[in-house]
C-alpha cells in the first residue's frame, strides 16, 4: 500500500473571477505563439519511445498526466500511440489555448505544486523539459506522488546542468525570470526517492537524461 506523504488542497480561485495561477509565467505568456507554431519537436519515433517507457504502468484507468505540458504537442502524440486519455496541466492560459481540439487530450489550468486532482487520478505522469521551471519542486514531486496511483509511473525528461554548455542555458533562463533549477541525474534520483518515488536516471541524447520511477 502506498503511503501518501501529504494531502494538498488546491487554493480556490480568486473571488473576482480572475485566475492568477499563471501570473509569474511572463516568459511563457509572450512565447506562447512561438510554442504553438513551432513547439512540436516530437517525432513519431520519440513518442513511441516515451510511450514504451510508460506502458508498463498503464494498467489501471490508463490516464496520463502531462505536467507542464504547455500547448499539448507531446500529449497529442502520446494519445495517438498509447490510445489512452492525456490531461495537460499548465499554469499559463495562453499556452493551453493552443491545445488541439480532440476528446482524448484535455487541459487543466493549474500549478504543479497544487494540482486540482483527486488522489490516484492517473496511471502515469510525464514532465518534459519543465521540471526546472517549477518554483516549488518539493511540492511538485509530493503532488506527483499523490495524484499518480500506487505503482504508477513517473517520467521526467530533463537536462544535466554539469556540461559547460549548460552554464549559458541556466544564465539565459534566469535572465528571463525563470528559476533554472536543474538537477544532476543522481541528485534528481535521490530527490525523488526521498518523496516516495523510486527510479533510475539514464542519459539520452546530448545533455538530456530521463528519470523513470514508480510511486510507492
Degrees, nearest 5: CA angle 29-211-79: 60
Can you state the angle between helices 137-147 and 185-193, rounded to 10 degrees? 60
What are 68's strand-pairing partners?
none
| Residue 95 CB neighbours (<10 A) | 27
pTM of the model: 0.84
Q: How far apart are CA 170 and CA 101, in angstroms?
A: 34
User: For cell 516530437, what's the residue?
Assistant: 42
Query: What tens digit of pLDDT does each residue of 180-191 get?
Result: 999 999 999 999
Q: What is the pLDDT along the chain (216 residues), one digit of tens a residue?
A: 566 665 444 443 333 333 333 335 566 664 666 666 656 778 989 999 999 999 999 997 889 999 999 999 999 999 999 999 999 999 999 999 999 999 999 999 999 999 999 999 999 999 999 999 999 999 999 999 999 999 999 999 999 999 999 999 999 988 888 899 999 999 999 999 999 999 999 999 999 999 999 999
Instruction: Report the topology of domain 26-215.
Output: Rossmann fold (3.40.50)
Cell of 141: 514531486
Amino acid at each position: 500500500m502506498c503511503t501518501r506523504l501529504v494531502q494538498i488542497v488546491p487554493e480556490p480561485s480568486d473571488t473576482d473571477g480572475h485566475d492568477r495561477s499563471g501570473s509569474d509565467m511572463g516568459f511563457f505568456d509572450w512565447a506562447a505563439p512561438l510554442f504553438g507554431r513551432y513547439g512540436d519537436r516530437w517525432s513519431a519515433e520519440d513518442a513511441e519511445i516515451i510511450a514504451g517507457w510508460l506502458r508498463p504502468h498503464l494498467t489501471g484507468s490508463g490516464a496520463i498526466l502531462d505536467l507542464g505540458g504547455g500547448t499539448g504537442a507531446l500529449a497529442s502524440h502520446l494519445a495517438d500511440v498509447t490510445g489512452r486519455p492525456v490531461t495537460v496541466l499548465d499554469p499559463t492560459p495562453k499556452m493551453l489555448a493552443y491545445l488541439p481540439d480532440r476528446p482524448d487530450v484535455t487541459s487543466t489550468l493549474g500549478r504543479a505544486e497544487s494540482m486540482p486532482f483527486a488522489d490516484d487520478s492517473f496511471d502515469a505522469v510525464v514532465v518534459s523539459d519543465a521540471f526546472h521551471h517549477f518554483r516549488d519542486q518539493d511540492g511538485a514531486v509530493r503532488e506527483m506522488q499523490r495524484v499518480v496511483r500506487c505503482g504508477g509511473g513517473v517520467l521526467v525528461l530533463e537536462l544535466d546542468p554539469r556540461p559547460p554548455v549548460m552554464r549559458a542555458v541556466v544564465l539565459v533562463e534566469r535572465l528571463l525570470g525563470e528559476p533554472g533549477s536543474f538537477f544532476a541525474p543522481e541528485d534528481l534520483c535521490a530527490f525523488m526517492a526521498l518523496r516516495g518515488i523510486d527510479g533510475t536516471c539514464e542519459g539520452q541524447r546530448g545533455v538530456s537524461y530521463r528519470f523513470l520511477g514508480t510511486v510507492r
